[in-house]
Amino acid sequence: MRLIYNYIIIILTIAYAFSCGQKKTDNQQETKDSDTTYTNPLLPTGARPWATFHNGEYFYLQDCDDKITLWRTKDITDLKNAPKKEVWLPKDKNSAFHLWAPELHRINDKWYIYFAADDGNTDNHQLYVIENESVDPFEGEFIMKGRIKTDKENNWAIHPSVFQHNDGWYMIWSGWQTRRIEAETQCIYIAKMENPWTLATDRVLISTPEHEWERQWINPDGSKTGYPIYVNEDPQYFYTKNKDKVLIYYAASGTWTPYYTVGLLYADSESDLLNPVSWTKVPSPVFMQNMDNQVFATGTPCFIPSPDGTETYFLYQARAIDKEPYGSLPAAPADTRSPRLQKMEWGEAGFPVLGEAASEVEKTKKPSGT
């Protein structure tokens, strides 16, 4: 009996030692994977993610509603451990609420953050810009340069973005043609800039929600907003591989639906960007929900390079559920959107190929040079 007992003890000891060794190996593998791969989302929540790469670092922003927070990191896939700083707390009640889609841009050796804000009523959204003269946007102080007037009637405007092309700077944004009466229609506008806080030209309409995939506002279960909302919003600039075409990606349909998707406009680089005829709309979405991977409501891509410049990635927003968990309101009390990152490739015609939205369990190799 004692012999059998000793034998059992030996077997259990060996099994325990093996399991500890296996557990150690598993932990080592997990550590190795975390050093070389990442999974989406990059943060638990975060709408309209945006980043720029400057002097070896990424500076990242997202919707924060009543303030603007800036992250900095050398590894865009490790935002959860990145230092962050509140760089703007509104002082004027007219621009103290619903600070949407902040973007950081370096213009004439100064930093500018563009964003939309209102007085507490989202129907009063307007565009604003703040300025920081410091070399490092984490240092110095951002000051309000003012509201950017988009048209004489002061129509509703959100999601400003700016880009430099050929002979100057341009601003693109989403706005209303006229104030909402029974339905809301958000369109994409462009204007040339006189300086970082002033438009030099009248706004020019370049896209309206004309296709069915741009006009979805009712969820699959029938839940919806209190009135029809047809959406073209959140425009983002990019270009073809040989830069012979200017690209503007935008989001279409309601962000509270799974149908929120990415559309694309393009124009010849040498054309007049302020002429609506210069712009062509791709008739189908270029990036959309992936039901198999449980990724819904894919938002507009923001393009960034890998640290060594050999690859291009895009940030975008999406959800893991097929609708926001609220009734008829267009602004969720508990936002379920989160920032995601994927690598893009170049297609045969030189246009970016975004592929399919990746699942939250897929391990992806980190950007080259990370």
Q: What is the C-alpha separation between 135 and 109, in angstroms, rounded?
A: 7
Query: Above 50 in pLDDT, residue 11?
Result: no
Q: What is the C-alpha separation between 199 and 192, in angstroms, rounded?
A: 6
Query: Above 50 in pLDDT, residue 329?
Result: no
Residues forming a β-bridge with 290: 295
Joined together, the tokens standing for residue 129 give: 């810009």
Coil/strand/helix, residue 231: coil
Say if 109 falls within a structural domain: yes
Say if 298 falls within a structural domain: yes
What's the pLDDT at 33?
A: 63
List C-alpha distances in Å: 146 to 12, 79, 143, 245: 73, 30, 9, 32
Q: In the predicted model, what is the mean pLDDT of residues 319-326?
A: 80
Joined together, the tokens standing for residue 352 give: 């970016």
Q: What is the C-alpha separation between 241 and 239, in angstroms, rounded?
A: 7
What's the pLDDT at 327?
A: 46
Joined together, the tokens standing for residue 20 give: 């500890």
Q: Please state the three-class secondary structure of 124-155 as a single string.
A: HCEEEEEEECCCCCCCCCCEEEEEECCCCCCC
Say if 17 falls within a structural domain: no
pLDDT band at 167 (very low <50, low <70, confident <90, very high): confident
Select the highest-mean-pLDDT range: 27-41, 313-327, 348-362.
348-362
Q: What is the pLDDT of residues 62-72, one digit of tens each?
A: 998 899 999 99
pLDDT band at 323 (very low <50, low <70, confident <90, very high): confident
- Name the residue with tokens 């920081």: 132
Q: What is the C-alpha separation between 19 and 22, in angstroms, rounded?
A: 5
For residue 93, which phi and psi values (nearest 5 degrees)? -65, -20
Query: Above 80 in pLDDT, residue 330?
Result: no
Query: Above 50 in pLDDT, residue 12?
Result: no
Query: Which amino acid is present at 210?
Result: E
Q: In the predicted model, what is the mean pLDDT of residues 296-325?
A: 94
What's the pLDDT at 328?
A: 44
| Preceding omega of 330 cis (within 30 degrees of 0) | no
What's the pLDDT at 324?
A: 77
Average pLDDT, the chain: 91
Q: What is the C-alpha separation between 117 and 96, in angstroms, rounded?
A: 7
Q: Which residues of 60-80 are buried (b: 16+ CB within 10 A; e: fewer)?
A: bbbbbeeebbbbbbebbbebe
| Preceding omega of 41 cis (within 30 degrees of 0) | yes
Say if 3 falls within a structural domain: no
Query: Above 80 in pLDDT, residue 333?
Result: no
Say if 55 falls within a structural domain: yes
Question: How long, in residues, is the chain?
Answer: 370
Query: Above 80 in pLDDT, residue 252?
Result: yes
Query: Above 80 in pLDDT, residue 223?
Result: yes
Coil/strand/helix, residue 214: helix
Query: Above 90 in pLDDT, residue 164?
Result: yes
Closest CA to 138 of 234, 70, 185: 70
Coil/strand/helix, residue 54: strand
Query: Above 70 in pLDDT, residue 18?
Result: no
Q: In the predicted model, what is the mean pLDDT of residues 177-185?
A: 92
Say if 6 falls within a structural domain: no
Q: In the predicted model, what is the mean pLDDT of residues 86-101?
A: 97
Q: Percent of the chain scored above 90 by pLDDT?
A: 84
What's the pLDDT at 21?
A: 58
Query: Above 50 in pLDDT, residue 318?
Result: yes
What's the pLDDT at 181?
A: 86
Other Cβ atoms less than 10 A from the Cβ of 169: the count is 17
Residue 280 domain boundaries? 39-365
What's the pLDDT at 217?
A: 96
Say if 285 falls within a structural domain: yes
Q: Percent of the chain scored above 70 by pLDDT?
A: 88
Say if 16 falls within a structural domain: no
Query: Which amino acid is present at 354?
Result: L
Q: What is the CATH number of the domain that holds 117?
A: 2.115.10.20
pLDDT band at 31 (very low <50, low <70, confident <90, very high): low
What's the pLDDT at 220?
A: 94
pLDDT band at 110 (very low <50, low <70, confident <90, very high): very high
Domains of the chain: total: 1
Contact 319, 308 (CB under 8 A): no
Q: What is the pLDDT of residues 116-139, one digit of tens each?
A: 999 999 999 999 999 999 999 999
What's the pLDDT at 35?
A: 87
